[in-house]
Structure 1
Amino acid sequence: MFTVMLQKVFSIAFHSWVEINFENQWYELEAFILDKTYIKKLQEQNSECTGAFCGYGVAVKDFRNLIIEFDRNNTYIQSEGINQDFGVYDCPDELLKEHHQEISAFKAFAYRHIGRHLMNRNEIRV
């Protein structure tokens, strides 16, 4: 239900990750956003899940074999939620100025006073 509500509020959700140049190779480090303790607890609470998982800040094809440790590789925790790359920005304000989200006053109110509180409550449960 909550996912449906978010989809009704936002047509697109922004997410960012870090890109590093290490030994003349660029890597995308997206898995840094969730700590290992949180992920482990989430896996314990969803022990029946052996394939794809989407929820609680995670969107992956293989919930049991996450690629979250950097070993000269890209790392992701929301790989299945990425559908467009807007490029590289030095400052989030530049990204939002160019790709801002238009939402109605009602939707903004609903997100501010209901949506974000539901998200926080779900995270606390984990």
Structure 2
Amino acid sequence: MQLSSISPAQTATELTATTPLLDYRTPSIQQLIKTRGWRDLSAFDQIGALHDFVRNEIQFGYNTSDQSKASKVLDDGYGQCNTKSVLMMALLRALGLSCRMHGFTIKKALQRGVVPELVYPIVPNNIVHSWVEVWFDGHWVKLEGFILDDGVLSALQKQFPDRNSLCAFGAGTNRLQEPEVTWTGADTYIQQTGINQDFGVFDSPDLFFSKHPQELTGLRGFMFRIALRHWMNFRVKRIRAGHNYALPQDALS
């Protein structure tokens, strides 16, 4: 079911359920929650703890597929917007916090610098993107600021000390030096300015990805899985370590 508006009663039922991707009953997720003591926190602190965990302990990187189960993303230890969103939703629901997915596409320019220039021309123009919306304090709060870990974000701030607007290297923001990535009870963002199409909200990532899969099929999908994503992950690690990849001048205009 695609959802455009949801009552509080609905949020307490449909939006805390497990799905094939939101497999929060798996032992690894349950053990994580127990070890961290997240069940003992207030709702505000639970969301903050999960947001910090997914932002920094699950580093920015590219998994095999958007349709990776939450337990697989946790095991990988890295993820991008869609896979981190899946894990974030699973953790929220495991704590009884109602959440949904909001789907979009982003301009491929947002991935420039992470995607090598050699293959950038063949990347799809529109890339499927998502963020999480959690029901908190009587309204929906948008969570997107967990995508880039502090290591990548601080490296970009150092590389572009005089810029606030950046749509490259996985960031899409007009507040690069003071990004909205810390949980305060309000929306968090880090790729918002790259959005170019809004698909609306969905009660599960399973439904969203079934309706709006990435344009990575056939040979292009095969090449992404076996080669390109590893190349991109290598570049992300180098960015995190302080290496500056140059961009064509038009990419920063």
Shift of 1:66: 0.8
- Paired position in structure 2 for 1:35: 149
1:7-86 matches, within 5 Å, as: 8-44=122-158, 46-86=159-199
Alignment CA distance shift 1:9-1:49 (3 Å): same
More strand by percentage: 2
Cα 1:82–1:114 change in 2 (3 A) is same
User: TM-score, normalized by length of structure 1?
Assistant: 0.79
User: Which residue is 1:112 aligned to?
Assistant: 225
- Alpha-carbon separation, structure 2, partners of 1:34 and 1:103: 22
Match of 2:200 among 87, 106, 109: 87
* 1:26-66: CA deviation from partner (whole Å, max 9, x where unpaired): 2111001223343223322x143423112332111231121
Q: Is the 8 A contact 1:9 1:108 kept in 2?
A: no
Q: Which moved more, 1:33-42 or 1:89-98?
A: 33-42
C-alpha spacing 1:108/1:37, structure 2 compared with 1 (3 Å): closer
Match of 2:209 in 1: 96
Q: Is 2:163–2:177's contact at 8 Å kept on the other side of the alignment?
A: yes
Q: Which amino acid aligns with 2:208?
A: L
Aligned residues: 125
Shift of 1:75: 1.0
Q: 1:40–1:9: structure 2 CA closer, same or farther, 3 Å change rule?
A: closer
Provide structure 2 residue ranges, at least 5 long, that are not aligned to the other structure. Answer: 1-111, 241-253
Following superposition, the deviation at residue 73 of structure 1 comes to 2.1
Q: Residue 87 of structure 1: SS of its match in structure 2?
A: strand
What is the percentage of aligned positions where both structures have the same residue?
Answer: 34
Check whether the contact 1:9–1:111 (CA below 8 A) recurs between aligned residues.
Answer: no
Consecutive unaligned residues in structure 1, runs of 5 or more: none
What is the rounded CA distance, in whole Å, between the counterparts of 2:183 and 2:217 in structure 1?
A: 40
Q: Which of 1 and 2 has greater Rg?
A: 2
CA RMSD of the aligned region, Å? 2.4
In 1, Cα distance between equivalents of 2:143 and 2:121: 26
Instruction: Call closer, same or farther: CA 1:39–1:26 in 2, change over 3 Å.
Output: same
